[in-house]
Amino acid sequence: MSKAMGCKRFNIFLLMLSVLAITACEGSAGWETGPTAEPTAEPTAVPSTEPTAEPTTEPSAEPTPQISVTSLHAEADFPIGVGVPAGNASNSLIDSLDRQQIVNAHFSQITAENIMKPDALHPAEDDYFWDDAVALVDYAAVNGMSVHGHTLIWHNQIPTWMSNHTGTAEQWTTMMQTHINTIVGRFADTAAVVSWNVVNEAFTDDAPSVYRNTLWFSNIGEDYFAQAFTAARAADEDADLYYNDVRLELNGSKMNRVVTMIEAFKANGTPIDGIGFQMHVSLTSPEKTAIESAFARVVNLGLKVKITEMDVTVNDDKSLSALALDTELAQAARYQEIVKAYMDAVPAAQRGGISVWGITDDDSGLPELHQRDEWPLLFNANFTPKHALQGFADGLVGGGSE
């Protein structure tokens, strides 16, 4: 045996001894800290270069809550949904196994984030594009999920030809009715498509004018609203028809305008089944009492209440550059608070469902995210669950008026 070989073996022996010694030390420390939760947040802190403090013998004040929910939708007997990217989106659900694993496990309904909006489905007056929507609806059906159609009549994401359309009020009305009839009719015999946001964001918040001055309002007048719902019902007698808006949960003047609309629809027989509350909220606003009061006003009018685009921002003041555990736990508590408010304020028969607006934090379509770091949803960018997922689940369990 060469000297080099003998020396090599002795060195290996020493190396093994040192490895065993290190392992024995680490192993005992790991066992004393008990089970660790799945990583629930992006690494929140850059490793400190400061010398670590002497390990204290005091147990931590509060153990980190566990994330135990394995199927969010299994905790509810109404749709638990998610807004999903599709089509040519780089994060399309159809192309992402990570996103499919989350959506299939936790959700019973999907809403197309963009590909079922006017610009995507109706790119030219005499041309409709169905491929992406059909692929998404098929995906939902194959995986036992329903689809909430979003959205038929809006002032955003409309095709150029529609913006440039000219004609009399009657001609505009005919164009709108054809648009709605064709799209709703395309999916009327598709069992998976169970509801539509017929009109989205048509009221102003506090402006003197009640209706947002959209091209529909300016070319048809306020009758466009009822005509849109009438056209949707004519195309599908079974789908639930919703009016969807943002900041209704503030229960302010916009909510008053929605209530007035509902009362008018009920008086003149215009079909409408529910109100969609987008629920783009922060940790603190709006208050739970305002949300519950707004829900109650719709419940008292006999309509369904659906949370359609929920997310909870945590960095509105732009002070954070990472999601720390305490902020994540506050977000979880906020999700629980709002979901429980829904369960308490909305009777079972009037629960249209609760949907979040995006799969992972990096998928969020909130425009604010172009200006700041945000983590508004239930899953981390690396597809691991956040405490918000457990908070949402905890809000579903045990709460609720029947």
Task: Note the residues at the interface with ligand G3I (CB under 6 A).
Answer: 89, 113-114, 156-157, 246, 278, 309, 365-367
Rounded to 5 degrees, φ, ψ at 339 are -65, -40
Cβ at position 286, least distance to ligand G3I in Å: 16
CB of 72 or CB of 112, closer to ligand G3I: 112
Residues 6+ apart with CB under 8 A from 13: none
Residue closer to ligand G3I, measured from CB, 67 or 246: 246
Query: Partners of 305 in the beta sheet?
Result: 275, 351
H/E segment holding residue 353: strand 351-356
| Helix/strand/coil for 217 | helix
In 179-303, DSSP assigns E strands to 193-200, 240-245, 274-277, 280-282
Give least dist CB 114 to ligand G3I, A.
4
Of the candidates 154, 138, 224, the one whose C-alpha atom is nearest the C-alpha of residue 187 is 138
Query: What is the nearest approach in angstroms of ligand G3I to the Cβ of residue 75?
Result: 25
Q: How far apart are CA 280 and CA 302, in angstroms?
A: 24
Q: How far is the CB of 344 from ligand G3I (least distance, A)?
A: 25
Q: Is residue 25 packed enough to be buried (19+ CB in 10 Å), middle (13-18) or exposed (0-12)? A: exposed
Comparing every residue's Cβ against ligand G3I, the nearest one is: 365
At residue 311, the 3 state secondary structure works out as: strand
Residue with tokens 């196994």: 97
Structure token digits, residue 2: 């060469």
Question: Toward ligand G3I, which CB reaches closer, 118 or 400?
Answer: 118
- Nearer to ligand G3I among residue 40 and residue 114 (C-beta): 114
Residue of 186, 203, 202 whose CA lies nearest to 239: 186
Distance CA 177, CA 399 (A): 41
Expressed in angstroms, the distance from the first to the final Cα of the chain is 83
Catalytic residue ranges: 201, 309
Smallest separation (angstroms) from ligand G3I to the CB of 84 = 10
Strands 80-84 and 351-356: parallel
Number of separate helices (H) and strands (E) present in the chain:
12, 9
Q: Measured at the alpha carbon of residue 40, what is the angle toward residues 39 and 41, in degrees to the nearest 5?
A: 100
Nearer to ligand G3I, 275 or 393 (CB): 275
Residue partners of 130: CB distance under 8 A and separation at least 6: 121, 186
Closest distance to ligand G3I from the beta carbon of 176 (Å): 19
Nearer to ligand G3I, 113 or 236 (CB): 113
Residue number, 82 or 329, with CB nearest to ligand G3I? 82
CB of 182 to ligand G3I, least distance (A): 20
